Amino acid sequence: MPGWYARTVFFTSDLDRSLRFYHSLGFKKIWHEGDGEGKVCQVGRAGCEIILCEDVGRRDRGRLFIELDPNGMAELKREAIERAIPCKASWWGYDCLQIDDPDGNEMYFPYPAG
């Protein structure tokens, strides 16, 4: 594979709970170590991939900045309302929609210009 291929790692205290949360956001499980029994897996949606790692000793959190086009942002907002996914207005260099996972990992979606 040419170039770099990077994924964010979010630590979780309960991998099954995290998988349910990310499935509610439309992510699909791409890979799960240990034939689905392990503590590390990867989820993805439309080219955005996140590695989830269960480690109850880790208390740190991560942040992922995800840009969507206007249609993608409208779809995300609609899905969040339909699925009762908590989100809030935030700012991180831009006005953003913020969604936190159950372990406090943050996803920032900047509003498209225009």
27 inside domain = yes
Strand 95-100 with 106-110, pairing: antiparallel
Can you give the pLDDT at residue 113?
82
Question: What's this model's pTM, rounded to 2 decimal places?
Answer: 0.90
Partners of 96 in the β-ladder: 90, 110
73 inside domain = yes
Can you give the pLDDT at residue 2?
66
DSSP code for 66? -
Structural domain boundaries, residue 99: 8-110
Can you give the pLDDT at residue 59?
87
User: Which parts of the chain sit beneath pLDDT 50?
Assistant: none
1 inside domain = no
63-98 burial, b at 16+ Cβ within 10 Å, e below that, comes to ebebebeeeebeebbeebeeeebebeebeeeeebbb
Can you give the pLDDT at residue 108?
97
* Non-local CB neighbours of 105 within 8 Å, separated by 6+ positions: 10, 11, 12, 61, 62, 63, 64
49 inside domain = yes
46 inside domain = yes
CATH number at residue 29: 3.10.180.10
Can you give the pLDDT at residue 114?
65
Q: What domain count does the chain have?
A: 1
